[in-house]
Amino acid sequence: MPSSDVLRLYRQIWKVARRIPRGKVATYGQVAELAGIPGGARVAGAAMRASKGLPWQRVLGKRGKNRAGVAILDPVGAAVQRRLLEAEGVEVTDRGLIDLVRYGWVPPR
DNA sequence: CAGGTGACTCTTT
DNA sequence: GAAAGAGCCACCT
C-alpha cells in the first residue's frame, strides 16, 4: 500500500493522464513533466501501474526521437494495450511502435 | 544516511 | 539495432 504522500503525487500524475484525448498518446517523461516532476519518468510509470480505470494505454515508453512503443513488456499485456489503442484509432505497427509525430499529444498551454 | 527497486530515457558500444 | 552503462526521480528497508 502506497503512503498518503505518494498518493498525492500519483493523483497529480493521474490528473495529467486523464487529459490525454482519445486517439492521442504521451510518454512517461511527458506526463511526469506536466505533473511537475521533470525527469521523473520512472515515477510516472509507477503511478500508471498503480492506476485503476485510467487511460493507462495512452501512456507509452519513448523508444526513439519520433516514436513511442507500448509500455508493457509482457506479451499478453502488450497485446491488450495495442488493442485498446487501435480501438481509438491509433496506428500501431506489428512491432508495437507508434508514430509520435502523428499521434503524440500536444497539451494545450 | 546507505542501498535496492522500477510500466523511464539517453548515450555509447 | 540490440545490449550495456549511466543518469534520473521518488519510495521503501
Domain boundaries, chain A: 4-103
Nucleotide at minimal C1' distance from the A8 CA:
C10
State the pLDDT at residue A75. 79
Contact between the CB of A15 and strand C at under 7 Å: no
Q: Which three cell numbers stand for residue A7?
A: 498518493
Largest CA distance in chain A: 40
* pLDDT category of residue A2 using cuts at 50, 70 and 90: low
Footprint of strand B on the protein (CB under 7 A): A 27-30, 41-46, 48-49, 51, 56-57, 59, 61-63, 71-73, 77, 81
pLDDT tens by residue, A38-68: 999 999 999 999 988 899 999 999 999 999 9
Question: For A4-103, CATH number?
Answer: 1.10.10.10
Give me the mean pLDDT over the A17-43 stretch.
97
Please choose, from the candidates A107, A77, A104, the residue with its C-alpha nearest in 3D space to the C-alpha of residue A96.
A77
State the pLDDT at residue A76. 86
State the pLDDT at residue A44. 97
Residue A77 CA and nucleotide C9 C1' are separated, in Å, by: 26
The radius of gyration of chain A from alpha carbons, rounded to an integer in Å, stands at: 13
